[in-house]
Amino acid sequence: MTEPHQTAPHPPQPTVIAQAHGGLGWLTLNRPRAINALDLDMIGQLAGALDRWEHDPDVDLVVLDGAGDRGFCAGGDVRSLYDQITSGHADDTAAFFLAEYALNARIAEYPKTVVALADGITMGGGIGLAGHAAIRVVTERSKLAMPETRIGFTPDVGGTWLLGRAPGRIGEYLGVTGATMDAADAIYAGFADHLVPSDRLDAVREALQTRTDPPTPTGIVLLFEEMPAPSRLEGARAWIDDAFAADTVAEIVQRLRARDEPKASATADVMSELSPTGMAVTLEAVRRARRLPDLRAALAQEYGLVQWFGHTQPDLVEGIRAQLVDKDRNPRWNPATPDAIESVAAAFAHVPPVPLWG
């Protein structure tokens, strides 16, 4: 009697593909079914590769991209965050955030040029990787956002640093509402540098490896760049700057309702569904980040805020539950309305000293 044929199991695929050749260090996020969402192990792999290549004479340029055609990186593993908090282990979240923020700062300060190819969905933790690279490329498929207020949270991974430097009150608008940017918006808002059509990305990768003429990474990217269409954010500056200059979220909503532009009233409708606490803290965080000296200071502020949310605020757990666990899309925020927010000073009371990392 013959044994039934058994197919050998396929070895698990690495969640980060790190390879160096032709003078390039290639880092590819490799969880395409999860739109390359980050977990702690992936963060460690990325950091380890950067450590190895920093003093490697055979690597003088790092390219960061994502596997699959859906996006570069959809964010961090917030479901694990939910599990840790609800099981009474909120303190365990610190390891993830410290490692992630150290990686964000590492990319921004890396002595060798980092080129990020933010094709497709790039949100939350994906912004923390691509947004701080030296050369940031987007495509016609790119969708960038800091959507944390949708889950009762606040932008982190250095997002407030970028938001605080956007033109006018665009940073407050993007942070508070979690609005999605296309390529033109991302370049206008300072989240990206170049628009390259997605069908030219392989050519960009090849040219970065050969680097004959022009010899610089920026010069190479410019060979494939296209001019973006006019930014919709730029066209909306009048009502955005007017409304989002208000002191509080409640006043912002009032100003939006008073505007004639349909998009303004639609934005007020969106805000009625978001976490009042998340919006109020985000509004203040972006404004404080605008006055901070550098990215590390913004990351330190964000670390204090995420610990405050994780240890004291029911909205974070409730937002993740509604979006990712039960998926009923019906969060019950506490407090329920912006009018009930008296002060967010407590959220900023425990910002750790800078630097958090070596």
Of residues 66, 75, 76, 158, which has the active-site annotation?
Answer: 76
Active site (annotated) includes residue 44: no
Of residues 39, 77, 100, 148, which has the active-site annotation?
Answer: 148
Active site (annotated) includes residue 148: yes
Of residues 156, 193, 242, 318, which has the active-site annotation?
Answer: 156
Cα of 153 vs its chain's centroid, Å: 13
Look up residue 338 and give its two tokens: 């912006």
Of residues 120, 125, 152, 304, which has the active-site annotation?
Answer: 125
Query: By CB neighbour count within 10 A (0-12 exposed, 13-18 middle, 19+ buried), where does 13 fall?
Result: exposed
Cα of 274 vs its chain's centroid, Å: 18
Query: Regarding beta strands 24-29 and 16-21, do their DSSP bridges make them parallel or antiparallel, or are they unpaired?
Result: antiparallel
Active site (annotated) includes residue 125: yes
Residue with tokens 């430097």: 165
Least Cα distance to 278 among 251, 305, 239 occurs for 305
Distance CA 50, CA 31 (A): 19
Query: What string of DSSP letters covers 112-165?
Result: SEEEEEE-SEEETHHHHHHTTSSEEEE-TT-EEE--GGGGT----TTHHHHHTT
Active site (annotated) includes residue 164: no
Catalytic sites, residue numbers: 76, 125, 148, 156
